[in-house]
Amino acid sequence: MAEDKNHSRRQFLGGMVLAGAASAVAVTAQGQGMGMGMMGPSKNKVVYQLNQSDPGYVSDILHSAAVVLGHFNNDVDIAIDCFGPGIWLLVKASKQHEHYSQFIREQVSSLHMYNVRFLACEQTMKTIKIGKEDLISEATPVFSGAVELITLQQQGYAYIAW
C-alpha cells in the first residue's frame, strides 16, 4: 500500500514538471510542522522569495518548487515567502489586484498538498488593507516576510531569490 502511495506521488510530480499538470490527488500526512517532510524529518530545506505579482515570475517559482520536490522524492521542506506585490498570489480571487489563471491556482493547491507552505507577510497585508479572511486557505500568515526569510535561513533553509 505504501509503495502505491509513493508511486502516485512520483507520477503526479513527474506530470507536473514535464507536462505542467497541476491537478491530481495527493496523499499526504496532515499537520506536519517545519522540519518534517512527508516521510518524517527532512534534511532538505528551501525557502523561495516571491515578491512580484507577474504571472510568469510566479509560475517560474511554482515550477521550480515542483522540480525540487521531484528531485528529492518529496523529502524536502519548502516554504514560499510572499510579500510586497507577491502577496497577491495568496489573496482570494474576489479581493485580488492581480488575477491569476486557474492553472496557477491549481499549482498552489497541488503544491500545498505536498506540504509546501505559502507564507503571507502580515506587514504587506496591513499596507494594502487585506485581512486574514481575504487569504486563500493555503496561506499561512507570518509577522514579516523579511523576518521569516532570516528565521528560516537560521534554521538551515537554503534561500532562493528569483
For residue 42, is pLDDT > 80? Answer: no
- Percent of the chain exceeding pLDDT 90 equals 67
How far is residue 35's CA from residue 30's CA, in Å, rounded to a whole number? 14
Q: Is the pLDDT of residue 155 over 60?
A: yes
16, 110 contact by CB (below 8 A): yes
Cell numbers of 43, please? 534534511
Q: Could you tell me the pLDDT band of residue 162, with boundaries at 50, 70 and 90?
A: confident
Torsion sign (Cα): 100, 29, 70, 23: negative
Q: Given this model, what pLDDT does residue 146 score?
A: 97
CATH numbers and ranges of domains, the chain: 2-24+44-161 (3.40.1260.10)
Rounded to an integer, the average pLDDT of 106-122 is: 97
Per-residue confidence (pLDDT) for residue 43, from 0 to 100: 86
Residue 98's pLDDT is what?
A: 67
Model pLDDT, residue 18: 37
Residue 95, classified by CB atoms within 10 Å of its CB into exposed (0-12), middle (13-18) or buried (19+), is middle
**64 φ/ψ angles, rounded to the nearest 5 degrees:** -60, -40
pTM: 0.76
CA distances from 148 to 120, 129, 140 (A): 10, 20, 12
Give yes or no for a contact between 62 and 20, defined as CB atoms under 8 angstroms apart.
Answer: no
Q: What is the pLDDT of residue 41?
A: 65
Q: Which three cell numbers stand for residue 141?
A: 500568515
Position 77 pLDDT exceeds 80 = yes
Banded pLDDT at 40 (limits 50, 70, 90): low
Tens-place pLDDT, residues 16-35? 443 333 333 232 333 334 44
